[in-house]
Structure 1
Amino acid sequence: MTNSAFTPRVFSGIKPSGGLTLGNYLGAIKRFVGMQGQMETIYCVVDMHAITVWQDPKELANMTREVAAGYLAAGLDPSQSILFNQSQVAAHAELGWIFNCVARVGWMNRMTQFKDKAGSNAEKASLGLYAYPSLMAADILVYHATHVPVGEDQKQHVELTRDIAAKFNHDYKVDFFPATEPVIEGPAMRIMNLRDGTKKMSKSGESDMERINMTDDADKIAKKFKKAKTDPEPLPETVEGLASRPEARNLVEIYAALDDTTPEAVIAQYPGAGWGTFKPALADLAVAKLAPISVEMARFMDDPAEIDRILASGSEKARAIADPILKQTYDIVGLLRG
């Protein structure tokens, strides 16, 4: 069975650990919103993934709502897309266990993100942190999702998802799970630190000035871009001139992503411009695009009951898709259900 036999369906999720940044918006949420109407779209706050490392329970609940507020404030429409938090749909965990029994230990040992997150303390890491890629595969395949928008750093997880689907299909002699395709596109899939263009923008960075938070107001957004680190040279005449200039390249790519254009077009608009010209222009663009989102996020966060209602409604829609697929999986494996 080819993917053409499956309903075209997008699935992706964001982990509620720390605050949302410009990287989350440009690398994920903005793209999620843009895919609405192109095919069926299912978006998740993956709270079960968050607890692979210790989370304060009250803060986890608050961050789950904040991620949902970020989705909604950026334009995700619950009447067009399914939005829910992962723990409200038990099929994720149930299929995750089956996939724990399909995936091989050698596959998990090759997952670079575990090595990055566990570091030298791998023996003290939770089993969940080690095995979470099989839960991620379940997140995707419990909906028979055919497409997953991801950054380059998550592509390995989609490849593992394809491996698990192929092995399940082979072992049980079925054509049941699709070969999910990663969707990697856009000019700013990797937003870098405003103080060090060689490091990814992170919600856990030492200084708040190195990132744009989705909750930042207009004044903070403008201040951070105007104080962003640059080099002494003006913008080049061609985009090739950015190759060895990480801070300059980062700011040009952020401008391009915010303006729905390309770095080449930005350079053509500002050839040879000094930072005294370009950074204020970038700050104005960022304020125009991002400040309304932060205002809307604050409005949603002031009404947590409404966020909870939207997530509960989305979980009902998600279960309507996931539960029949899980039931078929149980039947294929030979697990009895009443």
Structure 2
Amino acid sequence: MAFKERVFSGVQPTGNLHLGNYLGAITKFVALQDNYDCIYCVVDMHAITVWQEPRELAHATREVTAAFIACGIDPKKHIVFNQSQVAEHAELAWVFNCVARLGWLNRMTQFKEKAGKDRENVSVGLYAYPNLMAADILVYRATHVPVGEDQKQHLELARDIAQKFNNDYGASIQNHGYGDMFFPQPEPIIQGPATRVMSLRDGAKKMSKSDASDYSRINLTDDADAIAQKIRKAKTDPEPLPSEEKGLEPRPEADNLVGIYAALSDKTKAQVLGEFGGGQFSTFKSALVDLAVAKLGPIGAEMKKLVQDPVYIDSVLAEGSDRARVIAADTMKAVKDIVGFVRR
């Protein structure tokens, strides 16, 4: 069965969007607009798998929406909405809770990392999070998902769930006229030289909003002075930049900064090293400051402007959720028929 090509992805509204979110996700969202029908979601239901202060959650939801728009996502041509406004996400997630196997979830490395040693005390939602992520994607029967390296395992689970649903209900799927499969096998889209942006203070750790040091990340709302200060203070080593990419392998901080420059300038790491290889870090950092300020400064300014207009942001989310719900409702009607639920 041929499926309409459609992209789905989402960002959690947990505050302090940073350079890693921008390069690892949002720039990919913008680039995909020209070739796909795109659905971009602020995944507020995922956010509450760990405690969120309610007022902060609402603010962060609007801030992520503002970031989408400020970075160049067009909410008129594509769909931008927040997850909790479309109830079909939760409905399909329950069906998937009954399709997915316990052993599959036990293998999810992100749960182990987030739960730490106190697994008995975390929410069931955190454990079942990957099933909801599968529902997010498959309720729109999306064919492509831009993901970072750390989400590849979750997308593989979504593919497993889709396959098991198709296998388990194969006869019913055919009886209802959907051919030999109802859900597609969504493909990952991983592109660009900075798919995983690391901390500016430790090249072995992913850039994170939860890091205690604000100097570990560049926030999208940082002004030019803050961006410049953070890059200049970023951890490096005393050696000059290498001339070839393999010279970056034992040097995680250098590799990270070169990757950031490459992504912001739309170049390869090899091209960046061709320009700066053999030179001192101070020269390279100055160039990176100028580039980052030029790229991120206007985005931060536009985000701040949009966040001050919550009526407009809420109208974007309401319109987007109305459009998303039309697609999701059709999927859920079919799923209920296939599973054998009696519906109105």
TM-score by length of 1: 0.98
The match for 2:232 is: 226
Moved more, 307-316 or 235-244: 235-244
Asked if the contact 1:37–1:80 (Cα under 8 Å) also holds between the matched residues in 2, the reply is no
The Cα shift of 1:271 comes to 2.0
Asked if the contact 1:11–1:140 (Cα under 8 Å) also holds between the matched residues in 2, the reply is yes
Mapped to 2, the partners of 1:54 and 1:194 lie a distance apart of 27
The Cα shift of 1:18 comes to 2.8
Mapped to 1, the partners of 2:157 and 2:203 lie a distance apart of 30
Task: From 87, 93, 97, give the equivalent of 2:94.
Answer: 97
The match for 2:281 is: 275
The match for 1:311 is: 317
Asked if the contact 1:11–1:43 (Cα under 8 Å) also holds between the matched residues in 2, the reply is yes
Mapped to 1, the partners of 2:233 and 2:121 lie a distance apart of 40
Deviation per CA, 1:25-63: give whole Å up to 9, x if none: 000001100100201000000000001111110000001
Task: From 55, 60, 81, give the equivalent of 1:58.
Answer: 55
| Equivalent residues in 2 for 1:258-337, closer than 5 Å | 258-337=264-343
Q: Is residue 83 of structure 1 aligned with residue 89 of structure 2?
A: no
Mapped to 2, the partners of 1:192 and 1:252 lie a distance apart of 11
Mapped to 1, the partners of 2:123 and 2:233 lie a distance apart of 39
Q: Is residue 118 of structure 1 aligned with residue 115 of structure 2?
A: yes
Q: Is residue 67 of structure 1 aligned with residue 64 of structure 2?
A: yes
Corresponding residue SS for 1:95: helix
Q: Is residue 194 of structure 1 aligned with residue 191 of structure 2?
A: no
The match for 1:6 is: 3
The Cα shift of 1:185 comes to 1.5
Mapped to 2, the partners of 1:10 and 1:84 lie a distance apart of 14
The Cα shift of 1:336 comes to 1.2
The Cα shift of 1:19 comes to 1.2
- CA-atom RMSD in angstroms: 0.7
Mapped to 2, the partners of 1:335 and 1:57 lie a distance apart of 35
Q: State the AA in 2 paired with 1:11.
A: F
Mapped to 1, the partners of 2:223 and 2:62 lie a distance apart of 19
Task: From 126, 130, 133, give the equivalent of 2:130.
Answer: 133
Mapped to 2, the partners of 1:300 and 1:336 lie a distance apart of 44
The match for 1:238 is: 244
Q: State the AA in 2 paired with 1:222.
A: A
What are structure 2's unaligned runs of at least 5 residues? Answer: 174-180
Mapped to 2, the partners of 1:21 and 1:290 lie a distance apart of 10
The match for 1:32 is: 29
Asked if the contact 1:18–1:204 (Cα under 8 Å) also holds between the matched residues in 2, the reply is no
What are structure 1's unaligned runs of at least 5 residues? Answer: none
Mapped to 2, the partners of 1:18 and 1:114 lie a distance apart of 20
Question: Size of the alignment, in residue pairs?
Answer: 335
Q: Is residue 154 of structure 1 aligned with residue 151 of structure 2?
A: yes
The Cα shift of 1:316 comes to 0.6
TM-score by length of 2: 0.96
The match for 2:13 is: 16
Mapped to 2, the partners of 1:130 and 1:319 lie a distance apart of 26
Q: State the AA in 1 paired with 2:313.
A: I
Q: State the AA in 2 paired with 1:240.
A: K
Corresponding residue SS for 1:120: coil
